[in-house]
Chains A and B, each alone.
Chain A
């Protein structure tokens, strides 16, 4: 008679999944905790304000129209800078991904310029393009351009060459290979890049607006900080966070739509 021992289960874990209510509960809990600490006087509102005060500030800013003035100026710069940088980055990234003649010279330039902190270039761009809109948009576009190039190149490299050879074997034209095989195949990496570049663009937007602007969320936050007006300062930061979340949600929807084949 042999002894019988149950086999231990050891295959669990390493498979985290998202619990929607836990995300919402965590955020609500943190805001409630913050409000509670502020109401009890354990956090000085002179330094950190409170969620209710920030909410009131947002309502006042919205009612006076001041909020929309700053938001619209920021969104305009963000949209133009991001679109210009992204368009240029996509073209260069695809060229580096497909053409030997472009790859080595292009990568040398991209590798040399990519590590430069783009905020450090804002004063230079102000000298080149003036204190107005030009320098801000160029700063954003420049910051967006390099990550777009690198992600697009990685995406093009990741397109299975077997698919391209298949298309060639069926005499599919080069333009169709680009638009029907290469670009859709690179799209997952390009969209991942968009998540990085939209965050980068918001960071650079605020930096550029803090250096030389009287309109825009960055300028508004800086002015509020100079006046020790933490209610409005944090209201500006909430608006920036809302812009970031909205862009992220929009990208998520695009991924769901364009990558539904995965």
Chain B
């Protein structure tokens, strides 16, 4: 990954105040209150169906909570074109647009000139190692490459907060490992506040500076863990991280088993 821009601490955080949500009669989120500190990675883990992705949708303004609100804390940098941007689990690439055009899509309605847009797209493709694939169709790319396009697109608007919804869950284990390390480097480089939803506990321990553990539906915050070790000083086999993984699993095991039975029953 080549560097196109230096570390940029944007200093924007989020405060979630009394958020409740339901789909019809089904209560999904039950009074969530927490803060996402500026420049930190907050990981949200929880059993299937606990409302993690719903919560992320609410944080990003794609879902309206039944009650409560989400507050942006701080002022985004002057070059920020969109304070809250998503990286999606299924990549959400536009299949009839090339890789470069997918990244350009999010810049086309902005104040940037055509030349600036083209430069920005080229920078983001270089940053994510996609320069050679600028003209490729999404269907021609592997899952990992598609998610890199998703990352390039999200970073192109210089977001203050990056919302990542299980971005590695559709990928094979080897690609997951590689991309996770790239995420760590990109997050460290851009300094964007990050909210990362996952059910993978090793990803949570590798990335999280704050880890919110949600209980089964209706989702509540059951525990908050903090890891002080800087991201750059963590590695995959770190015994301290493995201890945190075990701790997370102990917190989640009973709920995960219940959620599994619930899903089977629902089928």
Contacts and interface: CB of A to CB of B under 8 A. Distances in A.
Contacts of B106: 170, 172
Interface stretch (A9-17, A46-54, A115-123, A160-168): A160-168
Interface stretch (B33-41, B80-88, B204-212, B233-241): B80-88
A170 B82 contact: yes
A2 interface: no
A176 interface: yes
Contact of A162 (B88, B137, B157): B88
Interface in B85-103: 85-86, 88, 90, 92, 94-97
Contacts of B172: none
Between A165, A168, A173, A176, the greatest number of chain B beta carbons within 10 A of the residue's beta carbon is seen for: A165
A176 B137 CA distance: 20
Interface range on chain B (Cβ under 8 Å from partner): 20 to 34
A185 interface: yes
Nearest to A184: B96
A233 B85 CA distance: 65
Contacts of B88: 162, 166
A169 interface: yes
Contact of A169 (B62, B96, B97, B108): B62
Contact of B92 (A163, A172, A187): A163
A176 B106 CA distance: 10
B94 A169 contact: no
A163 to B, nearest CB: 6
B94 A170 contact: no
A167 B105 contact: yes
B250 interface: no
Interface string A20-48: 00000000000000000000000000000
Contacts of B25: none
Contacts of B96: 184-185, 187, 259, 261
Interface string A232-262: 0000000000000000000000000001011
Nearest to B150: A166
Contacts of A185: 96
Nearest to A258: B96
Contacts of B109: 171-173, 176
B74 interface: no
Given A171-B109, A172-B106, A180-B94, A261 B139 contact: yes
B60 interface: yes
Contact of A261 (B82, B86, B95, B105): B95
What is the predominant secondary structure among interface residues of chain A facing chain B?
helix
A169 B86 contact: yes
Contacts of B177: none
Interface string A178-217: 0011001101000000000000000000000000000000
A176 B92 contact: no
A170 B157 contact: yes
B61 interface: yes
A162 B95 CA distance: 12
Contact of B82 (A165, A166, A171, A259): A171
B192 to A, nearest CB: 15
Nearest to B84: A169
Contacts of B137: 261
Nearest to A160: B92
B90 A169 contact: no
Interface string A145-177: 000000000000000101101111111110010
B105 A170 contact: yes
Interface in B149-174: 153, 157
Contacts of A176: 108-109
Nearest to B156: A170
Nearest to B107: A170
Given A181-B94, A184-B96, A261-B96, A170 B139 contact: no
16 contacts: A162-B90, A163-B92, A165-B92, A166-B86, A166-B92, A169-B62, A170-B106, A172-B105, A173-B109, A176-B108, A180-B105, A184-B94, A261-B95, A261-B96, A262-B95, A262-B139
Enumerate the 5 nearest inter-chain pairs by beta-carbon distance, A residue then B residue, closest first. Answer: A166-B92, A170-B106, A261-B96, A173-B109, A184-B96
Interface of A: 160, 162-163, 165-173, 176, 180-181, 184-185, 187, 259, 261-262
